[in-house]
Amino acid sequence: MSVFPGYTIAARDEREAISGGLLAEEAGRTSDAEIVSKVRPRTEQILSATLGDYEATNLTPSGVEGFELTSVKGVAGDRRTAVWPGLCLIRSSPLKLGEFRCDGHRFRGALRDGEVTVFATGSFMEIEWATRPVGHFLHFGSQEVEDALAKLGVGKRPQIRSRLQVGDAVLEGLFTQLVEEAERGWPKGAVFAEWFATSILARVAEICTDAEGSAIDRARGLAPRQLARALELIDQSIDGNLTLSELASAVGLSRFHFARRFRQSTGVSPVKHLINRRLDRAYQLLRTGARTVMEVAVACGYENTSHFTRAFRLRFGMTPSDCARQATR
């Protein structure tokens, strides 16, 4: 057996033996349990923030509340900025990221099939999906996360931290088997599904925990609610003027402390983030082909096209006109 803190996970041959006992009996009573395909509100919140347009199917067994498993297909080329509202694991198909930033860390490149990424509650993420994101999102409730952390007994404030490319064979194997069971319609029942999900969460708590607090706590960045509020205000002001004083006041900090903590949370200054969001919005508008370059520049807060063109080329490696022409091909 492989033993994780607080949980016992059977090896493959032992699982088959278990399936002939108690779990098989439970499975016999629940194997015809329906999977509710409609995505639940808390998972919908995550998908809307991180993917924008998407197709999703809820694979969670009916009646299970501690976790949600969702099959997801997104859109290539989309750029998103979000604060993760809860702990979520993503198991992806082969995927290329044009740009990825999370809690100040950067990545650009490919993820292999079956690779697992962990996003902790309150983590800031900015991402460009270079290829169509296809995979499975596994989201856990806050109480289940607290219980898993409590079983570790490490330090005073253990926190799960975000990790791209976790690279843990045990976690990947557990997640793969969970997906396989879900795609077969949970033939062994909801009890087996909960057991598997609990094992996954226990493994995450073991390998992705910082006993001294999260990265944001250590760096004294913005609290999750403060960061979410600041990002919301920035997105609402893409076509207008927003001052640093207004942002700082909205989260109850001085301009100096807000600017410093915002950079610690996101890796960029508030001004740089606002510029990036304006350019991301411009990219989306140009791809529709419905507006001229001048109209897009004005809609995204630029008073002249020359300044807009320089900033756009620096971020995307092409001019706004080139971007618009690509959309019409």
What residue ranges define each of the domains in the chain, with the CATH number in brackets?
Answer: 2-210 (2.60.120.10), 220-328 (1.10.10.60)
Q: 63, 97, 95, 61: which is closest to 80 by C-alpha?
A: 97
Can you give the pLDDT at residue 158?
A: 56
Q: How many whole angstroms from its chain centre is CA 33?
A: 29
> If you search the block for the tokens 């996003």, which residue do you land on?
119
SS3 at position 152: helix
Cα angle value 311/317/323 (rounded, 5°): 85
Helix/strand/coil percent split, the chain, to 5: 45, 20, 35
Q: Assign residue 103 a region: left if phi > 0, alpha if psi is -120 to 50, beta otherwise?
A: left
DSSP run (H or E) holding 105? strand 105-111
Residue 190 near residue 63, CB atoms below 8 Å = yes
Can you give the pLDDT at residue 216?
A: 39
> Model pTM?
0.62
Q: What is the identity of the amino acid at 59?
A: L
**pLDDT under 50 in the chain at which residues?**
1-36, 155-156, 211-219
3-state secondary structure 171-225: HHHHHHHHHHHHHCCCCCHHHHHHHHHHHHHHHHHHHCEECCCCHHHHHCCCCHH
Neighbours of 54 (CB within 10 A): 18
Tell me 39's DSSP state: P
pLDDT digits (tens, 9 = 90+) for 114-155: 889 998 888 888 888 888 889 999 998 888 888 877 776 554
Q: How many residues does the chain have?
A: 329
